[in-house]
Amino acid sequence: MWSFGIARNVLREHYRHTTKQLSLADGLRARLRISAEQENAADAVVETQMRAETVREALTALDERSRELVMLVHWDGFSVAEAARLLSINQSTARTKYSRALQSLETRLGVNQSGLLDGDGATRKLAATRHR
C-alpha cells in the first residue's frame, strides 16, 4: 500500500511541476507578444527575440530549484518567502539561492555596474530586485 502512496505523490509533484512550467511559458509568451505589438518595428521584434533567447539560455543554465525560484519571483510576482513555501524549502535557503541565481544571471547576461544590460540600453535593473 505504501508504494501506491509514493507513486501518487510522485505523479502529483510531476503534474504540479508541469502545470507550473506551462503557465510560466504562457505568461512569458503573452508578455513577449504584447511587447512586440507595442514596438511594432521589425528590428525591435528581432532584438526582443534575441534578448528573450539570451535570458532563456541564462535561465536554463541555472539549476532547477534556482530557476523555479527566479521564475516564481519575477514572472509570477511572488515574494522570495512565498516562493520558498511553494517550493517547500527553507526561507533562508531560498534567499541564498535567489541571490546566487541573480548573481549568476547578471554574469551570464553581462549586467554592468549600474545594473543595466551591457550594449542594449535595457532599463530593467536586476540588482534593484534583490531586496524583494
Q: Residue 68's domain spans which residues?
A: 2-131
Q: State the pLDDT at residue 11.
A: 82
Q: Which CATH number goes with the domain that contains 62?
A: 1.10.10.10
Residue 44 pLDDT class (50, 70, 90 cuts): low
Backbone angles phi, psi at 39, to 5 degrees: -80, -35
Model confidence over 57-115: pLDDT tens digits?
888 888 888 989 998 998 888 999 999 998 899 999 999 999 999 998 888 888 654 44
Q: State the pLDDT at residue 131.
A: 45
User: Would you say the C-alpha torsion 66, 69, 74, 76 has a positive or negative sign?
Assistant: positive
The model carries a pTM of: 0.52
86: nearest Cα among 103, 73, 98, 96: 73
Q: State the pLDDT at residue 82.
A: 92
Mean pLDDT of 31-52: 71
Structurally, the chain folds into a number of domains equal to: 1
